[in-house]
């Protein structure tokens, strides 16, 4: 019996080392709220199941171009049934920025969940990062668009 217990404990410990537990994987990472108060919550698996967009782009925060992957912001809004003219993106540290919804419709703005094909830890702007396609659209290489890139994203409020 002790050997079975040890095997189970070792398996549980290795599972914690190898990757997140089922409870962690199902944790809500993003909440989208409409003006009417309706909300849709996404865990990382739900965001991963959405169509993904990858782009390599230079940003002011990294010393070389990086690859960002995740669903398009407009797809996240559509999945949440969120409609309105403004998006308020709120980070884990309560940083908030207002983004015109037109940006999400006009540009391929990504809610990045991967950086260089790896999940983004909080210490490196994760787990979610709103990122614009700066290299594909040079007109976006302006301070106004840089400030709209919310990292450590946790909430979106649409009005």
Span 75-91, average pLDDT: 97
Is the confidence at residue 13, as pLDDT, over 50? Answer: no
Q: Give the chain's domains with CATH numbers.
A: 27-158 (3.90.420.10)
**Mean of pLDDT over the chain:** 88
φ, ψ of residue 68 to 5 degrees: the values are -115, 135
Is 4 a residue whose pLDDT tops 60? no
Going by C-beta distance under 8 Å and a sequence separation of 6 or more, which residues neighbour residue 49? none
Contact 25, 43 (CB under 8 A): yes
Average of per-residue pLDDT across 58-74: 97
Which pLDDT does position 58 carry in this prediction? 97
Q: Which pTM does this prediction carry?
A: 0.83
To the nearest whole percent, how much of the chain has pLDDT over 90?
81
Distance CA 146, CA 132 (A): 8
Q: Is the pLDDT of residue 55 over 50?
A: yes
Per DSSP, which regions of the chain are E strands? 28-33, 39-43, 53-57, 66-70, 86-91, 96-100, 110-112, 114-115, 118-119, 129-131, 153-158
Whether the CA torsion 137, 142, 143, 145 is positive or negative: it is negative
Quote the pLDDT of residue 36: 85
């Amino acid at each position: 019996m002790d050997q079975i217990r040890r095997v189970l404990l070792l398996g549980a410990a290795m599972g914690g080392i190898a990757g997140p537990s089922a409870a962690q994987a199902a944790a809500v990472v993003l909440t989208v709220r409409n003006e009417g108060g309706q909300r849709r919550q996404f865990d990382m698996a739900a965001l991963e199941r959405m169509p993904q967009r990858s782009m390599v782009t230079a940003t002011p925060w990294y010393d070389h171009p990086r690859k960002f992957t995740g669903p398009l912001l407009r797809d996240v809004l559509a999945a949440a049934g969120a409609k309105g003219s403004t998006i308020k993106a709120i980070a884990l540290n309560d940083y908030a920025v207002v983004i015109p919804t037109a940006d999400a419709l006009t540009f391929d703005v990504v809610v990045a969940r991967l950086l260089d094909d790896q999940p983004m830890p909080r210490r490196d702007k994760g787990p979610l990062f709103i990122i614009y396609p700066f290299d594909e659209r040079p007109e976006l290489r302006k301070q106004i668009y840089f400030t709209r890139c919310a990292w450590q994203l946790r909430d979106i409020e649409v009005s």
